[in-house]
Chain A
Amino acid sequence: MIGFVFRRLIASIPTLLAVLTLVFIIVRVVPGDPALVILGDQATPEAAAALRARLGLDVPILTQYVRFLGNALTGDIGTSMVSGRPVFEEVGAVLPHTIDLTIASMILGIVVGVPVGIWAALHRNGVIDVAARLLSLIGLSFPVFVSGIFLLIGFALQLRWFPVIGQADLGDYGDRIHKLILPAITLGLVMAAYITRVTRSAMLASLSEDYIRTARAKGVPWRRVVWVHGLRNASLPVVTVVGLYVGILIGNSVLTEIVFNRPGLGKVIVGALNQRDYTMLQGLMVIYCFLIVVVNLITDLLYGVLDPRVKAA
């Protein structure tokens, strides 16, 4: 197992390097001068040139790239061009909020999506199945900024159960959970819709397999057939979707963060992009990429647990 994890981490290094290079190029290809964004519209070319020199943007792009890679390899992913503070520090202040939201949405998505998907598969083309498919379609097509505002109007403005401003005190776990509920429902329901559809399809495929028929012929109780034989084999695509979706959740939580006024990685990325904060964007991508590698690794390990053939391969 340790060897497997080690090999996967080593294999992720080229991916990280490729991502770093791509990000370095992309942020510089996008039009918009960071010096102008920082100095405002009254800045003279002289002031802009002075700032570019201070930010290290006046040297050839190759030199900038070598410097960036050299620093990244020593664990230094830079200092924000706008705030002047280390990227790690800036990200560190918001990352716990993103992780809270991602994990809570994922749990909600699994807890709702898997049973509903199984239930729909067991009642194929019945009322329950149609209702589940319809609800999952609504869940997928409803933008989070609309569902989020509806939740705020209902639960914050009318019932006053939750605040509109979702900035929680990290040291106060009660406050953290309280302010997490509405955003987690908003994102979690989208995830649940995805998982419902995937679980339903996988279960339908699994339940039509020969081994299920054999198990039933041998007199294995139906509940056991479904939960042990059916679900275990159907869970591989579900785990794949959850693994993929966690990555998307981290990046796509920006709308939820904006609507619920929560700090988070998505908002920081948008802010850095608007302000052309190259170093912040690069640093964020390193962290983001690292998180994706970790999530993929966990997904791969889960494959091994669910299907021993994967481990053997």
Chain B
Amino acid sequence: MKTKLLAGLAAMILGAAPLAAHAQQGPTLRVGMAAQDVGRLDPHFAVSTIDRVAVAWMFNGLVRFRPGSINPAEIEPDLAERWESSEDGKVWTFHLRRGVQFHGGFGEMTADDVVFSLQKAGNAGSSAFSADYRAFQSVEAVDPYTVRITLRENVPSLLGLVTNYSGGYIVSRRAVEQRGADFARNPVGTGPFAMERITPNTSAELVANAQYFRGAPQIGRISYRFIPSDASRDLAYQNRELDLNYGRADQTWVNRTRQVPNTTVDVFEPGELTILSLDVSKPPFDDIRVRRAFAHAINRQEMVRWRGPDVSREGQSVVPRGYLGFTADNGLLPFDQARARALMAEAGHANGLSVRVIHTQLPEMLNGMQVIQQQLRRVGINLDLQVVEHATFHQQIRQNLSPLVYYAAARFPVADIFLSQFFHSRSIPGTPTAVTNFSHCNVADSQIDAARVSTNREEQLRLWAQAQRLLVENVCAVPVMETLLVFARRNNLSYGYELRGSMSLGPLITEQTRLN
């Protein structure tokens, strides 16, 4: 044991020889990211922002959001050149692009890889997004360049499940089988950039994929630096050591960064909707009057002023705005402190109410909750915040230990996902299919279920709107604000498209991206 230990340590101390560098064809793009390290770059396990951003540079889906857009109506061909569906919408056939090569000599992408990838995405043991693929009955290779997907029931957006997002990325079957667990840090895709090496807690180095099917990228390499300290990252950007910098959704930061010479601050979708879920199954929120008082006490305008008008906007529903199915016509209770106090008195809490709430110490979430705490104090509601470490917060709110949960999230921009995960009874923590329904509400189950399988778009929109009205009327959750994504870049970096949104939560670096 000692010999092995000593040998290992000696090798470490002397310093491992760096991997052989790839030939550099173009400039290096240096990206600063606010994170300690990447996690798993197997796209079906890429759940954090830092992982999602990098995965989008290395992988493709059968279809893709047009770069710079998160509008499902602008989905366009990617690895599939074209597709068709049966009349009932349950059978989809995709015709693959020929000659697409995987990174690192793993050969041509064929229907076999697509079948493997989608089956992997739908398997709980090999994907974090398996629940999204419940409606898949089968995925088959009709021939090497044709894939057929058969559904058990209709889904709101089949294309959304095979796009360049979450489980929709296509991996190399051979690479996954050959590399096993190592695939998470040595991923193999078909995208414009390929992984070269990862230095733990430091950086990931990517090289251009000269064989990329849309043409060789103009950027030669990407150096993806993990810099958790905001101050250090900003200093590195100011010192011209970074070309692209993850920004803070904070007006002061945006204003200050805009003053840095040759800098553009990009603010883009998707907005992360912050909601306050109230557990309707337990006191004090089992009383609708308390929930209504709570809703009237929240001043959304003040929240936006606090966060910054350039980077946030008021939440208007329990679904983020812009999502397919969103409606602002839902009867959302307005800010009204007098009404809130009256409702509290009516509910027997004229002398005030104290609620013990578990919350994370993550600064951006903690600060937001402290503003909410002040707003509620004005109507006699005292939030007794139990601040815990972030992983502990996630575990404890899933054990139903907090009657109020402050949660911010962005999902695929179709109302079904948000409604199902946050408001369907199947998603209540403690159930076998639990996700994030911390409100324990079930008032809109039938509308959510019916909308999901409906093939009539108008009916679907009507059902989603009805579900939102029911959830708002019952005050299952109070929407607070939507926070947009922020990145700063040097003016010599041109994405090659207009950045209005990105489902990977960071700018896509494509073959068109230039660094002059």
Contacts and interface: CB of A to CB of B under 8 A. Distances in A.
Nearest to A50: B125
Given A94-B200, A99-B13, A85 B185 contact: yes
B202 A44 contact: no
Contacts of B129: 42
A42 B236 contact: no
A177 B209 CA distance: 34
A128 interface: no
Contacts of A167: 199, 202-203, 225
10 A-B pairs with least C-beta separation = A40-B47, A32-B391, A84-B181, A75-B4, A170-B15, A263-B202, A92-B12, A164-B236, A95-B12, A50-B125
Nearest to A99: B13
Contact of B15 (A90, A96, A268): A96
Interface stretch (A112-120, A132-140, A269-277, A301-309): A269-277
B40 interface: yes
B232 A42 contact: no
Contacts, number: 201
22 contacts: A31-B392, A31-B396, A38-B40, A40-B128, A41-B435, A44-B434, A73-B1, A82-B40, A83-B39, A83-B198, A83-B200, A84-B185, A153-B235, A163-B236, A258-B232, A259-B232, A261-B225, A261-B229, A263-B201, A271-B201, A275-B391, A287-B9
A268 B391 contact: no
A246 interface: no
Contacts of A268: 200-201
Interface in A38-53: 38-47, 49-51
A38 B39 contact: yes
Interface of B: 1-5, 8-9, 11-18, 36-37, 39-40, 45, 47-48, 124-125, 127-131, 180-185, 198-203, 225, 227-229, 231-232, 235-236, 238-239, 241-242, 388-392, 394-396, 398, 409, 411, 421, 431-436
Given A84-B40, A263-B202, A47 B124 contact: yes
Given A259-B232, A271-B36, A44 B433 contact: yes
Which of A84, A85, A165 has most chain B Cβ within 10 Å?
A165
Contact of A83 (B185, B238, B389, B409): B185
A58 interface: no
Contacts of A37: 391, 394
A235 interface: no
Contacts of B202: 93-94, 167, 261-263
Nearest to A268: B201
A157 B235 contact: yes
Contacts of A93: 16, 199-200, 202
Interface string A1-37: 0000000010000000000000000000011110011
A160 interface: yes
Contacts of B395: 31-33, 36
Contact of A267 (B124, B125, B201): B201
Nearest to A170: B15
Contacts of B4: 75
B40 A274 contact: no
A274 B232 contact: no
